[in-house]
Amino acid sequence: MLFPTFTFAIFFFVVYAGHVLLRANPEAWKIGMVIASFVFYGWWDWRFCALIAASIVGNAAAANLVRRAKTGRSLVVGAAVAVNLAVLAIFKYYGFFVESLNGLLPDRDLPLIEILLPVGISFFTFQALSYVIDVHRGDVEPAPITDVAVYLSFFPQLVAGPIVRASEFLPQLRQPLSDRVPAGEAVWLIGRGLFKKVVVATYLAESVVDPVFDSPDAASSGESILAMYAYAIQIYADFSGYTDIAIGVALLLGFRFPQNFDNPYRSFSIQDFWRRWHMTLSRWLRDYLYIPLGGNRGSSFATYRNLFLTMLLGGLWHGASWTFVAWGAIHGLALAVERLWRDLRGRSRPTRLTTALTPVRWFATFHVVCVAWILFRAESFELAWSLMGRLVAGDWNTGRTPLVDNAVLPMLVIFGALLVQFRPDDLADRTRALVNRVAPSIQGVAFGAWVSLVAALGPEGVAPFIYFQF
């Protein structure tokens, strides 16, 4: 079930009506919300529901056992982590591992079994891991199984994030559900997210990205460069658009999720980029992978290694392919190089030269990100290398039939999307505050008109969100 569809609109209308009727009875509301979330998740395939149900029961039991155990807590946590990762590995990485081993061992032919990938398995697995680990650390108390069920299955962020910590969600679940919600802010976020996904992301995908990435050898250098920039904007508009809708829907149900994007393409370093892009994943990798690896507590070399390994595994989290591993390696190497440069420079004060080089830093950061996105989007190294080769081939007029019919409009969309990244930081807050001051009836009419505009500008049908595959 996709957000920007008539089916979801009907689903949410029913869910919201049930939310209003049941919010005075917390336990009934929780049961109703779990049922609704399972309907939402099972819309793709009902078999997925058994997996998330097992995750709820297993991790709730593990958290309770961790807190009650007088000895061996670390063993219980280790077992819970191992089981969660094993389930993730079977469903998401089995084929990848088998194909890789068969490539390394040509004399062996390990059986390859086609396993259906459950939507969003990486997201709810990471949330389950953080819950058990946080209970072990004493950051949260074990919650009743109904609370854990709502936390792990809550439909707004179930299939593509943001990755919400138990310490961020469970305290809200224990508070009475208010009949007063920031509807203006929610409407603003949902409307913005719909425009990003349906209009911007879908348009760039259909007009530039898909034609060029599907046939890179037939693309001119200009089309390849345009496709690289277009994909950078597409994946941002697609993923941040989903996040906006998810946060807005959750707000209407009385829950506030953490921010997940903060104008990432205005970053002046790769470290700054990861403080702005998929922020909930960045913090998860920092707290549950980078710091346990040693963080920056050891030698400088150990810090560089930990940065590289964290991003390498972060790349593998995104997909079962060596292209994702290479994508993570590029970011890990860039983070290590930036850290090395800071260590060599020490804590010297900014000079006029470093200030003057700020645009160069932005340009370099943006293009490292854009080139790495090619590996993220390409289905194989062969296609990625082919497109990268076209970038520098200098072949501006191939004489072939162009893959992009009209490059002017995509260029304007890309430029406009980048320009928006540099808007004043408080502009979005001021806009939300302005919407909140408008009467609810006018908000409803304006939202209906906006949805109609989005539907008119968008193409027929809506492609699944990119991050559903993760």
Query: Which regions of the chain are under pLDDT 50?
Result: none
- In sequence order, what DSSP letters do the residues of 85-99 get, joined into one string? HHHHIIIIIHHHHHH
Give tens-digit pLDDT for 23-61: 889 999 999 999 999 999 988 888 889 999 999 999 999
- The separation between CA 259 and the C-alpha centre of its own chain, rounded to angstroms, equals 11
Please enumerate in sequence order all residues whose Cβ is within 8 A of that of 385, keeping only pairs 6 or more positions apart, or say none: none
Selected catalytic residue, list 19, 136, 278, 318: 318
Question: How many whole angstroms separate alpha carbon 5 and alpha carbon 462?
Answer: 8
Q: Please indicate whether residue 318 is annotated as part of the active site.
A: yes
The residue to which tokens 């950061």 are assigned: 365
Question: How many whole angstroms separate alpha carbon 124 and alpha carbon 418?
Answer: 31
Enumerate the domain spans of the chain. Answer: 19-174, 183-469
The verdict on pTM exceeding 0.85 is yes
Closest CA to 162 of 241, 252, 253, 271: 241
Report pLDDT for 84.
Answer: 93
Q: H helices within 346-380, ranges in order?
A: 352-356, 358-377
Terminal-residue alpha carbon distance, the chain? 16
Q: State the maximum Cα–Cα separation within the chain, in Å, rounded to a whole number.
A: 74
Token duo for residue 212: 């060029």
Other Cβ atoms less than 10 A from the Cβ of 132: the count is 27
Give tens-digit pLDDT for 334-361: 999 999 988 887 766 666 666 677 889 9
DSSP 3-state of 180: coil
DSSP 3-state of 312: helix
CB-based contact 452:195 (threshold 8 Å): no
Closest CA to 314 of 362, 361, 372: 372
**Ramachandran class of 161: left when φ > 0, alpha when ψ lies in -120 to 50, beta otherwise:** left
Length of the chain: 470
From residue 2, alpha-carbon distances to 152, 241, 377, 393, 468 in Å are: 19, 12, 21, 40, 10
Please enumerate in sequence order all residues whose Cβ is within 8 A of that of 147, keeping only pairs 6 or more positions apart, or say none: 30, 170, 173, 174
Long-range contacts of 443-451 (CB under 8 A, 24+ apart): 443/183, 443/184, 443/187, 447/187, 447/190, 447/191, 450/191, 450/194, 450/195, 451/191, 451/194
CB-based contact 321:96 (threshold 8 Å): yes
Report pLDDT for 110.
Answer: 66
By CB neighbour count within 10 A (0-12 exposed, 13-18 middle, 19+ buried), where does 313 fall?
Answer: middle
Closest CA to 161 of 60, 283, 63: 283
Token duo for residue 163: 């990755």
